[in-house]
Amino acid sequence: MQAFQTFDVTLLNNAGLNRQAVFDFDSLPADITTPLRASCSATLPCSQLILIGHAGRTLWETIRASGIESEHPIDDFTVQTVRQWFAQCQPHNAYEIIYPGSHPIGLQRLGELAGWHHASPFMVGIDKEWGSWFAYRAVVIADTAFEPSKPLRTEHPCETCDHRICVASCPAGAMDEGKFDLAKCLDYRKQEDSRCKTTCLARISCPIGSAHRYCEEQIHHSYSRSMQIIKQRY
């Protein structure tokens, strides 16, 4: 029987990085591994891929308490915490943080493999416990030997939702035709009087996982960042 390393995630959980999934690199689908092998260095320690996310409010609360000040506080805090975790818990393992970064990686694809992600009508991942109030924060390639995670098996919460309040709550009508219309969403968000410049009314109307909804400050931060990207690209 294989002896696995201890996967002690206490430090990560305490920081609010409270979702983790471990994959043996070679067991992942080619659409994930092939682009990574092409973009990463030949010395990449690719025994395993570790997906790290956050769910709920704890990460933002920890970031604010840390006093970190930067243009990208969530990414910077996440990288700092992951490095601290390896230094304290896995000091003898080589690793490379490939996200945040420029490497090609399908975060939602990994989320599906982990069992975290179902597609919501408003195109943000959703699950039964956390609703849409979670995100992917880091992807790490390492020469670790943790026990691979078993994917979560949960039902799609939207399939048992009869009223689809998110559809009715979208002022852009971006879901009125039965699928998400990105152009309608972007056009509305760019309007001067848009009510979705720093929020998503469809998302916050969803009752699934509403107890874990981000605080207004975090919502404002995230959607202000996305608004900047929209202005630059569209």
pLDDT digits (tens, 9 = 90+) for 145-163: 999 999 888 889 998 888 7
Q: Please choose, from the candidates 109, 108, 94, the residue with its C-alpha nearest in 3D space to the C-alpha of residue 140.
A: 94
Domain that holds residue 164: 157-233
Residue type, 64: R
Mean predicted confidence (pLDDT) in 3-16: 93
* 131/164 same-domain check: no
Asked if residue 115 belongs to a domain, the reply is yes
Asked if residue 100 belongs to a domain, the reply is yes
> pLDDT-based confidence at 186, cuts 50/70/90?
very high
* 29/135 same-domain check: yes
* 135/218 same-domain check: no
Asked if residue 4 belongs to a domain, the reply is no
* 214/164 same-domain check: yes
* 113/221 same-domain check: no
Q: Give per-residue pLDDT as tens, 13-49.
A: 999 999 999 999 999 999 998 888 777 666 666 789 9
* 119/166 same-domain check: no
* 132/222 same-domain check: no
The structural domain count of the chain equals: 2
Lowest-pLDDT range of 2-6, 24-28, 50-54, 186-190: 2-6
Asked if residue 61 belongs to a domain, the reply is yes
Answer yes or no: are the C-beta atoms of 122 and 180 closer than 8 Å. yes
* pLDDT at residue 232, rounded to an integer: 87
What pTM, to 2 d.p., does this model score? 0.93
Averaged pLDDT score across all residues of the chain: 92
Tokens 């900047």 map to which residue?
228
pLDDT higher than 70, residue 114:
yes
Report percent pLDDT > 70 for the chain.
96
Asked if residue 2 belongs to a domain, the reply is no
* 116/178 same-domain check: no
